[in-house]
Amino acid sequence: MPPLRDTLQRDLEQLRTSGLYRSLRRVDSPQGPRIKVGGREMLNFSSNDYLDLANDPALKRAANKAVEHWGVGAGASRLVCGNLAPYEELETKLAAFKKKESAIVFGSGYAANVGTIAALVGEGDVVILDKLDHASIIDGARQSGATVRVYPHKNLKKLDEILCQSDSFRRKLIITETIFSMDGDAAPLAEIVALKEKHDAWLMIDEAHATGVFGPNRRGLAEDAGVEEKIDVTLGTLSKALGCVGGFVVGSRTLIDFLRNRARSFIYSTALPPAMCAAASAAVDLVVSDEGEHRRDRLWANVRALGAQSPIHPVIVGDETAAVELSQKCYEHGIFVPAIRYPTVPKGKARLRVTLSAAHRQEDIEQLRHELPR
């Protein structure tokens, strides 16, 4: 066997020649519509901080106050002695915000998906995914040991077919993102709910990119589509529009009680820092307030100004190297929008993933439009 380093070096070389090599770019400022990269200020069109909360004074005050009171680390997992009061406060707020009985917070959205899916299904069950579902959903499905079936993106006919062939499985779980993270388009939720009911399956939705952004009360796409009560499991993150970090699931009291007992990423992982919970609570307060509505409206004004369908606007380039070159051209002109490539998106579907924030100004959008291909 060749030495480890030689083998990895060869693999990395292959990534470089196929335009798939990734490297980190250091950011020297807080998150926001303008960030400092490489010693200069750039317009930032790549963060998921849609409501401009990551550096918000109210959230920072809440976190600072909590650090003073609770310290920095939780010290243990929730089930041992890490269940500090800010957790329960946050979970109560999340359940009320999402109009569900109960909520459970995880260390990240990734951990929430993996832990929840693997707790709900296993061998003898089937989990049915949209082709473009997030990596954390795929990983949860694989880890569960259930049979995994995948339907082409938003293809209801194929979903129906798979469900027709799934009678022999004990449990059937459909999982879809509501707003797809790399394409910004919306799942046909009402139609998926109809299929779930027709075939007597369970439905889990991932509202990572819709929470705070969609629905009259900003609860997500399920609120927008009027189907909240038909959803069995709703996942959200604290890390996108809420500007913090962490993941959560809301649903019936029974579901949440079950996850506390069976979700391994919840049980075997140290609780989030209490200050993060306090900041996230402040974020929920802000999102449900008039200020939250105001920011959401400003965000959508920017979406319309760009001619996009959601705050995620993919500019498909196709070729991996060409996408990197377009991103580099934007970078040289002061616009930060990294190229997204395989395996995050399919091969040959490389793109710039432009994301908008409530804090972008009209002239920022103009400047971006100027750089993008027509």
Ligand X SMILES: *Cc1c(COP(=O)(O)O)cnc(C)c1O
Which residues belong to the active site? 181, 209, 240
Residue 353 binds to ligand X (criterion: CB under 6 A): no
Decide: 32 and 54 in contact? Cβ < 8 Å: yes
Cβ distance to ligand X smaller for residue 125 or 206: 206
Per CB under 6 A, the list member of 42, 45, 59, 109 interacting with ligand X is 109
**In this chain, which stretch among 6-14, 109-117, 188-196, 255-263 interacts with ligand X, using CB under 6 A?**
109-117
* Residue 343: CB minimum distance to ligand X, A: 15
Shortest CA distance to 34 belongs to which of 26, 43, 47? Answer: 43
Residue 108 binds to ligand X (criterion: CB under 6 A): yes
Cβ distance to ligand X smaller for residue 52 or 364: 52
Looking up tokens 């920017």 gives 302
Q: Binding to ligand X (CB under 6 A): which residues in 156-185? A: 177, 181
Residue 209 binds to ligand X (criterion: CB under 6 A): yes
Instruction: Measure the CA–CA gap between 214 and 224, rounded to whole angstroms.
Output: 6
Q: Is 271 helix (H, G, I), strand (E, B) or coil?
A: coil
Residue 144 binds to ligand X (criterion: CB under 6 A): no
Residue 247 binds to ligand X (criterion: CB under 6 A): yes
Cβ distance to ligand X smaller for residue 201 or 205: 205
Residue 113 binds to ligand X (criterion: CB under 6 A): yes
Instruction: Measure the CA–CA gap between 7 and 5, rounded to whole angstroms.
Output: 5
Decide: 30 and 250 in contact? Cβ < 8 Å: no
Per CB under 6 A, the list member of 44, 47, 136, 357 interacting with ligand X is 136
Cβ distance to ligand X smaller for residue 47 or 108: 108
Shortest CA distance to 102 belongs to which of 286, 252, 261? Answer: 252
Instruction: Tell me the angle at which helices 274-288 and 290-306 cross, rounded to the nearest 10 degrees.
Output: 80
CA end-to-end distance (rounded Å), the chain: 51
Residue 266 binds to ligand X (criterion: CB under 6 A): no
Peptide bond before residue 343 is cis, with ω within 30 degrees of 0: yes
Q: Is 171 helix (H, G, I), strand (E, B) or coil?
A: coil
**In this chain, which stretch among 4-12, 34-42, 106-114, 189-197 interacts with ligand X, using CB under 6 A?**
106-114
Residue 239 binds to ligand X (criterion: CB under 6 A): yes
Looking up tokens 């909360």 gives 53
- Which residues are near ligand X by CB under 6 A? 108-110, 113, 134, 136, 177, 181, 206, 208-209, 237, 239, 247
